[in-house]
Amino acid sequence: MEKMMALHPFPLYPAFRCGKATPWGGFALRRIYGKNTTDPHTGESLEMSVIPGLESTDQYGVSLSALIERNQRDMLGSRIEGPFPLLLKLIDAHEKLSVQVHPDDPYAARHEGKLGKTEAWVILRSEPGAQLVYGIKEGTTPEALRRACDNGKEIESLLRYVPVRPGDVFYIPSGMVHAIGAGVMLYEIQQSSDITYRFYDWDRADAQGNRRELHIRQALDVARLDLQPEAVKPETIPDRYCRHEKLLDTRYFRLERLFDCENAPFDAKHTHFSVLTLLTDGVIRCENETFSFPAGQTVFIPAECAPFSLTCGLCLIASPGV
C-alpha cells in the first residue's frame, strides 16, 4: 500500500467577535496584528475555532471542522477523541470586560449540553496601571457574594484585582471569577466552549440604554471562592535552538513559549496536534518550501506533520492535554 504524504503546517484565518457582542473591544487587533477587522468594537480574533458561526478557516476558506472531518486521525492524532478540545483567541480589551465565571464539564454538560471552560491568558500588551480581576477576596462567604450581586455595584469591593504586564501568564480554572481590565491585549487558550456566566457588567449600557444579560443564578452555582492563585511561573526547558519555557501543563491543554528560534526543528507528534501563534514575524521551512508569516499569525501543526523548522523571535505553542 502506498504511504500517504505527510501533512504540512498551514495558516489559520480567524473569525471575529465584534459590535454588540464585544462592546469593550477596539481596533488594536487590526492596528497591531493586521487582522481584517472593520468594526471599531472588535474584541476577539478567534484564531483557532470550531464554534458554530465563528469557525476559523484555511487559506482557501475551508473551515477547520471540515478539514478535520476529511482526515481526522492524521490531523488530530491518535489520542484525541470526542469534541474538538481547544479554542484560541487574541483579545483586545479597550475597555474592561464583564465580571464572569465559567462552569466545569459536569455542570456544563448537565445544563448546557456542552464542554465546560477552563482557560489561561498570556499578557501581550498592557497600558500603565492595567489590571485583571483574578478571583474573589479571601474570606468572602457565599452569602456575602449573593448579597453583593443583589446590589449591583457592591460586588466591586469583593473582587481581587492584580496588576499585569506583558509576558505575565494567568491560569483560570472553571469556577474562578475573573475579568480582563481595560488596556490589555492578551492571548487566550481555553476549552472549546462558548459558555460564559456574567456576574456584573460595571453598570454598562449601550446607546439605547440597554444592558447586557447577567446570569446571576448560574454564576453563583459554579463560582468557587476558594481559588486564590498567583501568576504562573514559567519553567525553563533545555533547548539548544531557542529559549524554551513551559507555561502550563494541565488536563485540558499544554502551553509553551519560545524566544529567539533559529531554524528550530519540529517533528510529528503522532498522538496530538499543536498550534503555533507567532508574536513576531516568522519563517517555517518544510520539505524544501519556505513560508513567511507575520506577527499575529496562527499556524496549525497536524499530528502527522512533515518535519519542519521554525525561525521566530517570539511564539506560543499550544496543544491539547493528552
Per the structure block, which three cell numbers stand in for 150? 443583589
Beta-strand ranges (E) seen in the chain are 10-12, 15-18, 42-48, 86-93, 99-101, 119-126, 131-136, 159-163, 169-172, 178-180, 184-191, 197-200, 235-237, 243-249, 253-266, 274-278, 282-286, 289-293, 298-301, 308-320
Close Cβ partners of 208 (under 8 Å, ≥ 6 residues apart): none
In 3D, which of 194, 45, 182, 177 has the Cα closest to residue 125? 182
Our separate counts of H helices and E strands in the chain read: 6, 20
Please state, in angstroms and as integers, the Cα–Cα distance from residue 221 to each residue in 119, 140, 242, following that order.
19, 15, 45
Half-sphere exposure in the Cβ direction for 208 (13 Å, CA): 4
Question: In this structure, how many other beta carbons lie within 10 angstroms of the beta carbon of residue 295?
Answer: 17
In 3D, which of 288, 296, 252 has the Cα closest to residue 116? 252
Q: What span, in angstroms and rounded, lies between the C-alpha atoms of 118 and 176?
A: 9
Phi, psi torsion values for 154, nearest 5 degrees:
-60, -25
Q: Which residues are catalytic?
A: 198
